[in-house]
Chain A
């Protein structure tokens, strides 16, 4: 016997793309996608790749600690960063150099973070003064973002919070708790999931039984959208729309950006141990920077000569960043006491003096 039921809920998940794997438009581009803006996005994407390559080199030569490259995922972060207003707030996870670059962070400061210096989280860029630092315990930042969003809503400010986690992060309790409260309280927060297919060595296929990650938003009572994470136009469009919706009081959105991690999880990982070689090869064929580059070339906006010029310019930029980074004077050892509380409590004075005395 099969009992009768009635449908009480339905859902569908939409997929968004403007520029496909063959560098061909699949629909009319949004108004921001002018030649000038697309060229600027291309330059930002290229800068991220140069930055990551340099950082990995620095790590391999002992000048930086463990570093997470964003290779292959540059369009996610560039799209996000360029969709934000200065007055929005960003809660990163730890692979957000693309967003931070576009948002205006000093990249020497960014390098100093992975170089083992807390000052890398003391963002000096004025409009970033309330952004959160990197969040190493997975998915915690999503709840911080929800709390910040509540404060903005409480003060009736027309601002929104942008936050992000990886595909692995969507298995965490904190992810579900954040989705749940964001939907229950209609918070002005946009959750991006960087689905780069790998949580260190665990592939997306065994991370969750859900058909899409975007649909996890349905459980929170709000919209989940899947976008081609290698299409910077789609990412920027989706994030910008979602942020505006949040600022206008329309509540949260989850955007699953589908991409591929073309690097090791971090410099402490060896992806060759678990990512099939043919999967990497296929993924390179659809990577975000070449995709936009070929489109620009086909439009007569780019060329091999222009590419060479750009690489030379970026090479000079990165050299200046590295110089600033390696020449940063180290903190005094007693700095480890200076920011524990607003004022150092009496019971720590003798320990401070011991360290200051050169113990």
Chain B
């Protein structure tokens, strides 16, 4: 079996589900003939045609609004925003309508849409192409927010997202689109949308992260292992709803927790995890919870990008502070 990258896994999941269910349509800018600027949708236009793979006019609010209308009619639209930084015109429709349609109509209408976008920094991109804005959507009742971190999880989580009857914001860490190759059987098996994944077991410290930060976090865990420190690494994956039980269970075991995310520190998803650990896991903690995150600055233009994003060294420093706490 061939090994595929995360972006290829996205493509594989879309192709699988479109072949299985002709209510699935994909829409967005440049996603048809061009196959998407990251090639997420490559080959779909040839396979499924212009009626199911829609090259839309250039308008993000329109993309979201169309998807909501289609979904209420029983289609399953997968709407692409070319970069997370361009999702803002669509936030009106995502927050005011997609997230609320079921609630406002007491279940009469609902909105099975996937809003997907390449997300996060680290590819030396133009301005506004490198943000991590997941917390905006995590704070919105009625949405699901999912961020895969590997080819296999991208495949399984995207299938689950498409099949879910409610709106899912699906952010794809573009820095690791092509970072690693994995065997991903094209078997149509979905992963759960409300569970964290323990991707490395350990006993001395719990490292909680998601998206491309998995890379630096796993590197930190490797370094720690050389020093005789055993780190458990949790990939949150489903930012909303948050599987705190898995995180609490891990912290009960290790007593220490460092949360790592690319998004700015203040009011990031790490703050929510930290608050819940404080409320429900305080007595397990041997040290304060530490967050290693992007600075509370605008994501710098790419020459300074590497100083902004949490590096393995910065993560190790945060871990060291936690381990040394008496």
Contacts and interface: CB of A to CB of B under 8 A. Distances in A.
Interface of A: 91, 118-119, 121-123, 129-130, 132-133, 135-137, 140, 142-152, 154, 173-174, 177-178, 180-181, 184, 335, 338-342, 345-348
B70 A151 contact: yes
Contacts of B51: 154
28 contacts: A91-B69, A122-B106, A133-B104, A133-B109, A137-B92, A143-B64, A143-B66, A143-B69, A147-B68, A148-B72, A150-B70, A154-B25, A154-B75, A174-B61, A174-B65, A174-B92, A177-B61, A177-B62, A180-B62, A181-B57, A181-B66, A341-B142, A342-B102, A342-B110, A342-B166, A346-B194, A347-B243, A347-B244
Nearest to A149: B69
B59 interface: yes
Given A148-B70, A174-B61, A341-B166, A346 B241 contact: yes
B266 interface: no
Interface string B219-248: 000000000000000000000011111000
Interface in B69-97: 69-75, 77, 89, 92-93, 96-97
B66 A146 contact: yes
Interface residues of B, number: 46
Nearest to A150: B70
A175 to B, nearest CB: 11
B321 interface: no
B106 A143 contact: no
B104 A140 contact: no
B2 interface: no
Given A118-B106, A144-B97, A346-B241, A177 B165 contact: no
A118 B73 contact: no
A328 to B, nearest CB: 13
A154 B93 CA distance: 22
Contacts of A340: 102-103, 141-142
A338 B142 CA distance: 11
Which 5 A-B residue pairs are closest in the complex by CB-CB distance? A147-B69, A143-B65, A151-B73, A177-B62, A345-B241
Contact of A148 (B73, B105, B141): B73
A348 B194 CA distance: 12
B166 A143 contact: no
Contacts of A145: 69
Contacts of A348: 241
Nearest to A128: B108
Contacts of B312: none
Nearest to B110: A342
B130 to A, nearest CB: 25
A147 B105 contact: no
Interface in B98-151: 101-110, 141-142, 144
A344 to B, nearest CB: 10
B68 A144 contact: yes
Contacts of B165: 341-342
Nearest to B92: A137
Contact of B67 (A132, A147, A347): A147
Given A341-B166, A346-B241, A347-B242, A144 B65 contact: yes
A138 to B, nearest CB: 10
Given A123-B108, A147-B77, 16 more contacts: A118-B105, A119-B106, A121-B108, A130-B73, A136-B96, A144-B97, A146-B65, A147-B65, A147-B72, A154-B25, A177-B65, A338-B106, A340-B102, A341-B102, A342-B110, A345-B194
B241 A347 contact: yes
A135 B72 CA distance: 14
A121 B105 contact: yes
A140 B92 contact: yes
Contacts of A152: 73
B203 interface: no
Contacts of A177: 57, 59, 61-62, 65
B64 to A, nearest CB: 8
Contacts of A143: 61-62, 64-66, 68-69, 93
B274 interface: no
Contacts of A129: 108
A220 to B, nearest CB: 11
A247 to B, nearest CB: 16
Given A184-B57, A340-B141, A140 B97 contact: yes
Contacts of B107: 122, 338-339
Nearest to A136: B96
A135 B59 CA distance: 20
A140 B65 contact: yes
A209 to B, nearest CB: 22
